[in-house]
Chains A and B, each alone.
Chain A
Amino acid sequence: MQPDSPRVDMADGRLVLSGDLLIGTVADLSCDTDGAHGVDIEQVARMDTAGAWFVLDLAARMGDAPVSGASDVQTLLLDTVRDNMPTGAPDAEPRQTIADRFEGVGRKVHDGWRIAVEMTGFLGQVVATLASLVIHPRRLRLTSLVHHMQEVGLNAVPIVALMSFLIGIVLAFQGSSQLRQFGAEVFVVDLIAISILRELGILLTAIIVAGRSGSAFTAAIGSMKMREEVDAMRTLGLEPVQILVVPRVLALILTLPLLGFIADISGLVGGAIMSWIELGVSPSVFRSRLVADIDLWQFGVGIIKAPFFALIIGVIGCYEGLKVGGNAESLGRLTSTSVVVSIFLVIVADALFSVFFALVGV
């Protein structure tokens, strides 16, 4: 039914309303109340709560003028709305002043510090729980651990291998065009091996895993938090850190070195193939140079970083997940925070490792 547009007329000093007073139509209806001292709604065909509010508002603006001509049903509706009229005008959104902005910056700095402290505390809790597993190995959730190892480790193999393979190709290609200028083509092997084994293999793997699994940890734990599952666990005497966090972090610590190893291998394979195509360095030459020039420490330096990166990614992913509040927006926000922060910290840690290895001379 198409609504009749409502009308207001003046008769005998009363405002006579007619037509349909509905939520979709009252907004366009304006009338001035000068000299009127009553509202007549006898000719109103249909009226909903918005219409009733309009009538009451009109009467109120005329100084509580009487409303006449309401049918029984309309009276009931008017009464219902009258009982529920909001008191006073709703207050508008407060405006932001410059002082508010300064306060905001201060708050952020303070929050940043607080979060750093909290995160360190959480890290300590996770490490302590991990350590207690050495004494009580039966507390480990083996099924959950294996499940997460499959999720974060096995299922990540294709993407990690492919990425590293391509990086190997790019390095060989770029390196060869530079080294050819000096006639030092064969050093491409050292270039590829050192950059992939020491840095790129594990760093890029950690970044992919942070994007893949860190975000999944935050989202999974966060939605459990939202549905009060985490609280339910606590009341059942189950420790969320032990049940949710430790299997995930441990799975990462165990599988990230393996993923790093796979990345190293496929990076070298990619590099070898490209060197062969571009420079004519045959695979057997590549192999013998690799064995002769590169000692095992180059590989060790890369792989040793893996468990630390894993700890960073796992702890941050879970920490952000446990911070999720009651609304869906915080889940999304914290998931992206978790990825950004863990990639950032992984790179910071990598830089620290470089300094450290330079100092000890490997």
Chain B
Amino acid sequence: MADPQNNAGHDTDPIIRVRGLVKKFGKHTVHDGVDLDVRRGEIIGIVGGSGTGKSVLLHQIVGLLKPDAGRIEVFGQSVRDTSDDEYRALRRRWGVMFQDGALFSSLSVRQNVEAPMREQLDLPEDLRRTLAGIKVRMVGLQDSAQDKYPSDLSGGMRKRAGFARAIALDPEIVFLDEPTAGLDPIGAAAFDTLIGRLQAALGLTVFMVTHDLDSLHAICDRIAVLAEKKVLAVGTMADMLEVDHPWVREYFHGPRARAALAGGDKNEVR
């Protein structure tokens, strides 16, 4: 599954290892034997049609949904069979940004970003505020947005605020569920640059569900295709173009994909 040529520069041990994952909702099987490795320090993009279970996969990896069978390890530790303390320690090492932002509606943006710091660390108040302020600016929000409440933000601003909260503690892995959906193209490109930059600067591993061909192309090291209830293919953009499967071909050879491919590739951007 994982191709050996692409291994250079990465630890051999995967940071996330999913094996034989099965997930059913009642009679409806969403995953049937999903295998996936994510390497330390890479940006992996997860693609698949709507309703193929990308969000469900993400929820299972971070332990919010219980798989029916199979094993999920993050940092070499099973997410399910851990004590509460171990799980808490694990959780501190990743940040999650949900598809619809999932901000706390009764807290302002800054308080949302401060929330994980408040829960996990004992920081003096002004340091916490300053760090939250940096994170809010990093994701491209104006200072004036800091004291707004989620219901007063636009969809794109909510996304950014969600991302700021996900990176509040400088986690080792960030899980992003469609981070660029709903952003304007300039904002989306800035988002890509930011993710790329943070990955380079902090050695971040990024697990990103996305439909945005531009981000797939610009920043993703590898792409995993979720279809037919399993991971159909994993590899670089170039590998994806070779895959012989109707959906994958349609996806990566469609008119939008061609436009994105024409726009320059990952190595040029960084």
Contact = CB atoms under 8 A, between A and B. Distances in A.
Interface of A: 22-24, 26-27, 48-50, 53, 73-74, 76-77, 80-81, 84-87, 89-90, 226, 325-329
B86 interface: no
Contacts of B130: 53, 86, 90
Contact of A76 (B122, B149, B197): B197
A190 to B, nearest CB: 54
Given A23-B121, A326-B151, A326-B152, A80 B105 contact: no
Nearest to B103: A327
Contact of A84 (B106, B134, B151, B203): B134
A76 B200 contact: yes
A326 B201 contact: no
Nearest to B121: A24
Interface of B: 105-106, 117, 121-124, 126-127, 129-131, 133-135, 137-138, 143, 149-152, 167, 169-170, 197-198, 200-203
A329 B105 contact: yes
Task: Please classify the interface of chain B as helix (H, G, I), strand (E, B), loop, or mixed, using the class held by over half of its residues.
Answer: helix
14 contacts: A23-B169, A23-B170, A48-B170, A48-B202, A49-B131, A53-B134, A73-B203, A81-B134, A86-B133, A86-B137, A226-B105, A326-B105, A326-B149, A328-B105
- Most A CB atoms within 10 A — which of B127, B167, B203? B127
Contacts of A53: 130-131, 134
Given A23-B121, A80-B138, A327 B149 contact: yes
A208 B138 CA distance: 52
B189 to A, nearest CB: 16
* Shortest beta-carbon contacts, A-B, top 4: A326-B151, A327-B105, A86-B133, A77-B201
A60 to B, nearest CB: 12
A97 B117 CA distance: 31
B134 to A, nearest CB: 5
A64 B169 CA distance: 27
A63 B201 CA distance: 26
B137 A49 contact: no
Contact of A49 (B121, B122, B134): B134
Contact of B127 (A27, A81, A226): A27
Contact of B137 (A84, A226, A329): A84
B151 A22 contact: no
Nearest to B194: A80
A49 B198 CA distance: 9
Given A27-B121, A329-B105, 18 more contacts: A23-B170, A27-B123, A49-B135, A49-B167, A73-B201, A76-B200, A76-B201, A80-B138, A81-B134, A81-B138, A84-B134, A86-B143, A87-B143, A89-B126, A326-B105, A326-B150, A326-B152, A327-B149
A43 B72 CA distance: 37
A53 B124 CA distance: 15
Contacts of A85: 134, 137
B134 A27 contact: no
A75 to B, nearest CB: 9
A80 B117 CA distance: 20
- Most A CB atoms within 10 A — which of B134, B143, B150, B203? B134
Nearest to B169: A23
Contact of A327 (B121, B150, B200): B150
Contact of A80 (B121, B122, B143, B197): B197
A226 to B, nearest CB: 8
Contacts of A84: 134, 137-138
B29 to A, nearest CB: 28
B131 A73 contact: no
B132 to A, nearest CB: 9
Contacts of A89: 126
A89 B124 CA distance: 15
Nearest to A72: B200
A89 B137 CA distance: 14
Contacts of A24: 121
A50 B197 contact: no
Contacts of A26: 127
Contacts of B151: 325-327
Contacts of A48: 170, 202
A84 B137 CA distance: 5
A26 B170 CA distance: 13
